[in-house]
Amino acid sequence: MTLIDRFLHYVSFDTQSDELTNMTPSTPGQMIFAKALEKELQRLGLSEITLDENGYLMATLPANTDKELPTVGFIAHLDTSPDMSGRNVSPRIVKNYDGGEIVLCAEENVVLRPEEFPEMLHYVGQDLIVTDGKTLLGADDKAGIAEIITAMEYLLAHPEIKHGKIRVAFNPDEEIGLGAHKFDVEAFGADWAYTLDGGEIGELEYENFNAAVAHVTFRGRNVHPGYAKHKMINSIRIANQFAIMLPRWETPEHTEGYEGFYHLVSFEGNVEKSVLTYIIRDHDRDRFERRKKELEHLTRKINNEFPGCAEIEIKDQYYNMREKVEPVMHIIDLVSLAMKNVGIVPKVKPIRGGTDGAQLSFKGLPCPNIFAGGLNFHGRYEFVPIQSMEKASALVVEIARLVADAK
């Protein structure tokens, strides 16, 4: 099976995750996909294949040299985003892209336009896999899975390329922030690993946001509006007052690079009770802690005006993996060299989000993130250049070769 055939087969599996089920994996489609991958790995001849009850699939490509070498891992996730349907994905290949518009769905007027997505122009002359405009594509992260497995197949077919023991893993529920929660780092047994879960070709990331979620609850008192003077306490209005107390410019739509933000992701309520849910993000740990304290301070301010009305719950989600990767920067230098060797210009940049690699790094497995090649993740405009996927797979092979050469 070729890399592209493999990818097109993988996107036929409906593997959207769901944060409301409280199960692992959060949806049955992920386990169905994992079992199909398990059989494929068996057919290819990998060893030490395990699939646990939580949907974590691991396997080994044994070393083909007697040299003492570190064990390197490659990881990708099974699920697709719950932001848009991943059922009945119908991909199409646009060969030799000419730089113009791509009509995804004529009947619904869904068009991929370079003026709206200028990154398209970086791939003129290449072959793009696009959606039919009705679902996401699933390159995040089925492209990563296809690239890793294709690289393992290539190494099996080319024993002249010497390499150490390689571990691969495919986990559920990354898109809802739970991908690393039940990942058994000790059983995985790698010295370090890489997630193939980044975007455009060349991306190499070892910095990510520190992240927390905050739920701010406001309790009011409902009284007939005709008789409400000095009696009613409208929790909706108080919640709105709280929301506008935060800095207007420190939101996702006004920030970039290393700039952090407060993001109001939901507002639910009525007169009696309203709940605001925020995600808090910052690359700098001190600023991150100050952001959490600011929300607590504003909650106290509201309670000064409306005694006992507001309460806040803040929960940390993950931290910046940079502090765990910097002591082992050779794993970044290795990828940079591997990229150059296969004709890729490295693009080292911070992740304005999270990754399984961040949580795994804090569990003792340093785990930077490498591109998988896709763009416009989580929506109908998602696409992936075939040539980027081919380079990603070649990069995995080159990393394995360089680890063996370094000793």
What local confidence, expressed as pLDDT, does residue 407 receive?
59
List, for residues 33-57, the tens digit of each pLDDT value: 999 999 999 999 999 999 999 999 9
Low-confidence ranges of the chain (pLDDT < 50): none
Angle at 392 between CA 389 and CA 394, to 5 degrees: 110
Q: Which of 131, 263, 138 is nearest to 209 (CA)?
A: 263
79 included as an active-site residue: yes
Between CA 276 and CA 298 the distance in angstroms is 13
Residues with Cβ within 8 Å of 368's Cβ and at least 6 positions away in sequence, in order, are 194, 195, 204, 205, 206, 321, 325, 331, 332, 335, 357
Between CA 310 and CA 299 the distance in angstroms is 6
What local confidence, expressed as pLDDT, does residue 130 receive?
98
Among the listed residues 79, 140, 153, 197, the single catalytic one is 79
> In the chain, pLDDT over 70 holds for what percent of residues?
100
Do 211 and 317 touch, CB atoms closer than 8 A? Answer: yes
* Number of Cβ atoms within 10 Å of the Cβ of 66: 7
Three-class secondary structure of residue 347 per DSSP: strand
Kind and range of the H or E element at 213?
strand 210-219
Tell me the Ramachandran region of residue 105: left when phi exceeds 0, alpha when psi lies from -120 to 50, beta otherwise.
beta
Kind and range of the H or E element at 274?
strand 273-282
Which domains, and CATH codes, for the chain? 3-207+321-405 (3.40.630.10), 210-317 (3.30.70.360)
Is it true that the peptide bond before 184 is cis, omega within 30 degrees of 0?
Answer: no
38 included as an active-site residue: no
What local confidence, expressed as pLDDT, does residue 233 receive?
95
Among the listed residues 140, 174, 175, 382, the single catalytic one is 174
Instruction: Tokens for 363, please give them.
Output: 């569990």
